[in-house]
Structure 1
Amino acid sequence: MYTGSPAAREASGWDALNETERQARQQQGVEAWGQWVAAHRSAIVDTGAPLGSTLRVDARGIESIHNAMAAFTVVQAESHQAAAAMFEGHPHFTIFPGEAVEIMECLPLPG
Structure 2
Amino acid sequence: MPLFLAVYMMKGDNVVRFRAMPKAEQDAVDNAGLPQWADWEKRNAASIVNKGGMVGKTTRVSIGGIAPASNDICGYVIVEADSAEDAAALFRDHPHFNTFPGDSVDIMPFVTEPDL
Please give the residue correspondences for 1:53-72 in structure 2 after superposition, counting only pairs within 5 Å.
Answer: 53-72=57-76
Identity of aligned residues (%): 32
Structure 2, unmatched stretches of 5+, are 1-6
Please give the residue correspondences for 1:1-111 in structure 2 after superposition, counting only pairs within 5 Å.
Answer: 1-9=7-15, 14-15=18-19, 17-108=21-112
Structure 1, unmatched stretches of 5+, are none
- Quick check: 1:50–1:70 contact (8 Å CA) kept in 2? yes
* Pair 1:86–1:60, CA change in 2 (3 A): same
Please give the secondary structure, in 2, of the residue aligned with 1:87. Answer: coil
Which stretches of structure 1, 4 residues or more, deviate above 2 A after TM superposition?
Answer: 6-10, 13-22
Instruction: Report the number of matched residues.
Output: 107
Cα displacement string for residues 9-45 of structure 1 (whole angstroms, at most 9, x for unaligned residues): 47xx645643333312211100100010000001101
Cα displacement string for residues 37-95 of structure 1 (whole angstroms, at most 9, x for unaligned residues): 00000110111111122122221211210000000011011111100110012100110
- Normalising by the residue count of structure 2, what TM-score does the alignment of the two structures yield? 0.82
- Normalising by the residue count of structure 1, what TM-score does the alignment of the two structures yield? 0.85
Larger strand share, 1 or 2:
2
- Quick check: 1:9–1:99 contact (8 Å CA) kept in 2? no
**CA-atom RMSD in angstroms:** 1.8
